[in-house]
Structure 1
Amino acid sequence: MEFTPRKEPVIYVVEPYGGSIRKHSPSLPLIFVDDAAVTRGDGIFESLLVRGGKAANLDRHKERFAASARAMDLPDPMLDKWEQATAMAIADYTGAGNAGELVEAKCTWTYTRGRASTGRPSAWVVVGPIEESVLEQRAHGVKVMTTPRLWQVAQELPAKTLNYAATMATLRLARSRGFEDVIFIDPDTGRVLEGATSTVVVVKGDKLRTPAGRGILPGTTQAALFEAAAAQGFRAKSKEMTVDYLKGADSVWLVSSVRTAARVTQVDETVLPAPKNEAELRRLIAEAAAH
């Protein structure tokens, strides 16, 4: 049975205190003008891949979501309700029958400080289509520009926050210069940190490495990948690294939940040829992302 992806997202609101769940029409407004998500970018989010009719790596996402809430001093999310709302949204999006087993989609959890007038947090789950640009980068890779990360709060606050304005501005700058993505560098030490919305994974022979140190948000896909890679005989661990380390690698990947993996084809002006084991690595990453 063929599945035709819906153009409209499916939205479920989660009541942060009572835990009630209700469906919300995408054609109606949801956020009030005094919500901290709008006025301050004050909140957290989590992006999940939907594949095979379920949210992939759900337990890892729940753990990171709860950690982000603690870091931002938000009330502990009722994770069983978020999981329930996610299952309901996926079922609505994919529809009845077995066709939904074939679809990929994106699920986003959003949890904000809420309205200034009420002091009550806002929370909702959205399931919708994956952007074509994301699928294109997954298939063909990305050229990346390295750049110092000049805002320091991320080094002290390991949370997946809504405050992405500086990151998006950096991405726009990179695209104006002919790149598709960025890798942030610590301005004081020259250490590689992470991508704009992804974790950096470097492959050298049978070694998989991801940057170590402060200022790096733990990656759910990277964690799943390292677990799967170790079972396949790879040696996987964190390591402090420089840009020169990236340029001397067999391959470099940006891994994240929805895009899964985009091979880095160029770092600044250095072209990185496709590795001989590209197909094996793609299979390994895809399996880990959908676990």
Structure 2
Amino acid sequence: MAAPTRTPAPQPIIIAVEPFGGSIRNHSPLLPLVYWDDAAVTRGDGVFETLLLHKGKPCLIDEHLQRFQRSAKLLDLPEPKAEDWRKATAMAAEQWAEKTERDAKLVWTYTRGRPTRDPQQPHPTAWLSVTAIDDAVLRQREEGVKVLSAPRGYVLHTDDGQEGAQAAPWLVVGAKTLNYATNMAALRWAHGQGFDDVIFTEGEKVLEGATSTVVTVRGNKLRTPLAEGILAGTTQAAVFAHAEAQGWNCKAKPMDLEYLCHKADSVWLLSSVRMATRVRRINDIKLPKPDNEAELQALFQAALGA
């Protein structure tokens, strides 16, 4: 039997957001937008946020705005104006809804821009994009993922016991920056080994996924790793807030691979676009499907307004 024909994805939507009170306008996805010497191109110097566009509505926009502004502050960028990004997002959501009912990935990008005479006065480049979600991501939502554990590659502490920002005050811990080359390399490595994703570790300590937050379920307890250098997850925070209101016990705590592989009832990767994806294998250990998977999926989706 022939595979069902899928409706072609609509053309991406690009909206340029001019900082400092400039215009907010559509830009053709067929034309260039960024200059050759933009800091995003030459240095990966900038920040971004990825939102889920579901049924024409951006999910968790307030939470993403807070992290977007916090990331910009950590990189000494001018504060992104919330009203500009809300306006651009509303424009994009309306235009996408006119094209299709499909879920989409909506990305805000904010760079240091082109070099200026005064390094303390950057003139950022900013834009928003909307693209269809890959079929592979949709399959992972339904089928779950196989993951490899891998060292993050650096340790945030010094010999005298300082950790995190104290150990490396110049390191922008907690900012969602454009410099994702290492994360993408980790994913390519995992794919080459026949796996879908990576969970970063420090020794046996669990940190986070390459593009996601780790969450475990055991009884009525939801847990996420507590460790230095983990990017705060907007999806995880929304899930915990909603779950606590439903009577779940939610907490961040240090955890190791032993807990994930042998003690937790189920392990999940949470992210904006993929939402909640069950981990069905870690390295060579197969994780059983939990009896309450449908209940958990409903809980996660309700938290995200999906």
User: Is TM (by shorter chain) over 0.5?
Assistant: yes
Contact 1:146 1:185 in 2 (8 A): yes
User: Which of 161, 173, 179 is the aligned partner of 2:177?
Assistant: 161
Distance, in Å, in 2 between the alignment partners of 1:10 and 1:259 is: 20
Partner of 2:202: 186
Q: Which has the larger radius of gyration?
A: 2
Contact 1:111 1:122 in 2 (8 A): yes
Partner of 1:282: 297
Partner of 2:241: 227
Q: Which amino acid aligns with 1:144?
A: V
Q: Which amino acid aligns with 1:107?
A: L
Contact 2:267 2:279 in 1 (8 A): yes
Distance, in Å, in 1 between the alignment partners of 2:155 and 2:46 is: 18
Partner of 1:78: 81
The verdict on how the C-alpha distance between 1:168 and 1:264 changes in structure 2, with shifts beyond 3 A counting, is: same
Can you list the C-alpha shifts for 1:70-125, whole angstroms capped at 9, x where unaligned?
Answer: 111111000110010010011111118xxx6x431110000011112574210001
* 1:137 and 2:152 correspond: no
Distance, in Å, in 1 between the alignment partners of 2:22 and 2:241 is: 33
Q: Which runs of 5+ in 1 are unaligned?
A: none
User: Which of 27, 31, 38 is the aligned partner of 1:28?
Assistant: 31
Partner of 1:7: 10
User: Which of 250, 259, 268 is the aligned partner of 2:274?
Assistant: 259
Distance, in Å, in 2 between the alignment partners of 1:5 and 1:225 is: 32
Q: Could you state the TM-score of these two structures normalised by the residue count of structure 1?
A: 0.93
**What's the C-alpha RMSD, in Å, of the aligned pairs?**
1.9
Q: How many residues align?
A: 283
Aligned-pair distance for 1:176?
A: 1.0
Distance, in Å, in 2 between the alignment partners of 1:23 and 1:286 is: 31
Distance, in Å, in 2 between the alignment partners of 1:259 and 1:64 is: 19
The verdict on how the C-alpha distance between 1:92 and 1:6 changes in structure 2, with shifts beyond 3 A counting, is: farther
Aligned-pair distance for 1:289?
A: 2.1
Contact 1:19 1:81 in 2 (8 A): no
Distance, in Å, in 2 between the alignment partners of 1:195 and 1:226 is: 18
Alignment of 1:39-118 (within 5 A): 39-95=42-98, 102-116=101-115
Secondary structure, in 3 states, of the residue corresponding to 2:126? strand
Can you list the C-alpha shifts for 1:211-248, whole angstroms capped at 9, x where unaligned?
Answer: 01211111111011111111222101101100101012
Aligned-pair distance for 1:128?
A: 1.6
Q: Which amino acid aligns with 2:189?
A: L
Q: Could you state the TM-score of these two structures normalised by the residue count of structure 2?
A: 0.88
Contact 2:269 2:277 in 1 (8 A): yes
Q: Which amino acid aligns with 1:68?
A: S
The verdict on how the C-alpha distance between 1:250 and 1:107 changes in structure 2, with shifts beyond 3 A counting, is: same
* 1:197 and 2:203 correspond: no
Q: Which runs of 5+ in 2 are unaligned?
A: 1-6, 157-163, 166-172
Contact 1:5 1:129 in 2 (8 A): no
Q: Which amino acid aligns with 2:240?
A: F
Contact 2:56 2:96 in 1 (8 A): no
Distance, in Å, in 2 between the alignment partners of 1:127 and 1:29 is: 16
The verdict on how the C-alpha distance between 1:176 and 1:71 changes in structure 2, with shifts beyond 3 A counting, is: same
* 1:127 and 2:130 correspond: yes
Secondary structure, in 3 states, of the residue corresponding to 2:137? helix
Aligned-pair distance for 1:152?
A: 5.2
